[in-house]
Structures are given as structure tokens and as C-alpha cells.
Amino acid sequence: MPENKNAKRKKANEKSLVSNSSILILSGFLIGTVSQQVAGPSAQMYVLLGGTIGLVAYLGLACLARQRAQRASLQACRQASSQLETRVDRHIPHRPPQRNNRRFQPSRHSERQYLTVVQSFRNPYG
């Protein structure tokens, strides 16, 4: 298990040879070269194709990086939630909910609950 952690640390510390932004810059340069007709007519198609492939690769890598970041944040949230649940479970004993076996039986006074509280003995005629 420690070997796996060391491998992950080495992988995290290694820098990639080509970054995402350099792929985008080089792709833009190639597409700009075609638009200014700097390359020869026979090479223009290949240069444009290379720039387009670089642009698609940049978008794909950006999408993968976003998904990886979302997965990492979701994993961190799950781990924090799990830690919080275990801490709460340590302090609050878990008891199964108690069932009330008594059936509801209306009392003989249940009809009276909707009666007025104050009765007025005022004469309606005077």
C-alpha cells in the first residue's frame, strides 16, 4: 500500500512535457499560418489539419481535466461526509425507532375539541 502512495506522489509531482495552453498556442499558430498563406499550397491542408487536431485535443483534454476535478471534489465530499457521520455516530448512540403499539382510540371528549372556548351569555336583543 505505501508503494502505491509513493507512485501517486511521484505522478502528481511530475510535470507534463506539453501543457494544455501550449497545445492551444501551437494550434493557433498553425491555423494562423494557413490563413496568411505562409505555407506552400501543398502543405496548407496538412498544416490546417494539424492545427484542427491540436484544437480538438485541447478541448478534449480540458473536458477530461474538468471531469477529473469533479470526480476528485465528489470523492472529497464523500470522504468528509463519511468522517462526519462516524464522528456523530461515536457521540450519539444509535437506537432503533420505537414503535407505538397502541392504536389510536378517539376519546369521548374528541368531539368537544372544536367547541368555542368562551361562551357568551349576552342577550342578542339588548
Q: Of 36, 60, 65, 61, give the one whose Cα is nearest residue 48.
A: 36
pTM score of the predicted model: 0.53
**Integer Cα distance of 36 and 64 in angstroms:** 32
Number of H helices, E strands in the chain: 3, 0
Tell me the pLDDT of the chain (126 aa) as tens digits: 456 666 666 665 667 777 778 888 999 999 998 888 887 888 899 999 999 999 999 999 999 999 999 999 999 999 999 999 888 888 877 677 676 666 656 566 555 555 555 666 666 665
